[in-house]
Amino acid sequence: MNGRKFGCYTALVTPFERTGNRWNHPINFHALDSLVEFQIRGGVDGLVIMGSTGAASVVSHDEHVHVVAHVQKKFGEKIQVIAGDGSNCTKEAIELARRIEQEAKVFAHLSISPYYNKPSDSGIIQHYKAIADNLEGNIIVYSVPSRTSGLGILPDMAEELAEYRNIRGRHNIIGIKEASGDIERIRETIKRTHHKNFVVISGDDSLTLPIIRIGGVGVISVASNILPSDITNLVHIALGTQNEDRYYKIKEDTDKKLQPLYSALFPKARQGVIENPSANPCLCYYALNKMGYNIGIPRLPLTDGESWEKEAMNKALRDLKLIKD
């Protein structure tokens, strides 16, 4: 993550065994290795381990650190590793991230904005500054209002965090993963932080190209679990595209090809039906299992999707020629 370079980082799923209770079945490290190797072959720029897509919400801190350490030790010389971490408790966020630095030797963090306890803007800013003061490594803040509190990290908040020097005098809050879905807000964040060596990264596969178009530097992708080479190539082409006509042709082709997959990964409630659709990473597990990666099902309360959601995913995978049936 030098300068403004980023690219495509996969928010990697964490495989589970198919044995034992659904609320406590073990992590499958053999399948994890297969997934990492698939990503390396696909040419992705890096991996986020134990983020939301990695089902971090259903593992213990010991397991969390163990998975990050395993990937770093086995593959760290081949690919950049970012640890997903953070908490709605600042003390817990600092302690987890410190363990990751000390035990896993990973010094890049994607730190989720506080959830559930609904801190004020000032509370969120103080939370991140305290984390920055207590870590050696660099931090990408993660703004995802649909999973956290309030409006997430607004442009003025991102600007203040981008300017912050920690107690050692270093700028170590270096970017934001933006998953607000609001292009105008993201544009304003880029405008306010662009000159501060602070990057804005798409956290929404379907908005990656528009965000790159306005100054974003890449994506932390769910879809690249399934299509690492395709998504990486798309991002690299988009980052190198200055010609407007070529950009819109890339976007048109991509939307036609990949939007059904994006929709299947992030299902919305059906029209006229009151229900809670499955959240990421549920359908990503289902898709990878259908493709032959024996990664199990995440721990409860997560599942691998409802029947109607699986039908949509099956169609998307068939259309992409990733499965036959």
Active site residues: 142, 177
Is residue 164 packed enough to be buried (19+ CB in 10 Å), middle (13-18) or exposed (0-12)? middle
The answer to whether the beta carbons of residues 68 and 102 sit under 8 Å apart is no
Convert 194-247 into a string of H (helix), E (strand) and C (coil): HHHCCEEEECCHHHHHHHHHCCCCEEEECHHHCCHHHHHHHHHHHHCCCCHHHH
Q: Which residue has the tokens 């964040």?
A: 189
Structure tokens at 82: 């970012």
The answer to whether the beta carbons of residues 96 and 85 sit under 8 Å apart is yes
Instruction: Count CB neighbours of 62 within 10 A.
Output: 10
Q: What one-letter code names the amino acid at 242?
A: Q
Q: Which of 157, 205, 146, 138 is nearest to 3 (CA)?
A: 138
Q: What is the largest CA-CA distance in the chain?
A: 57
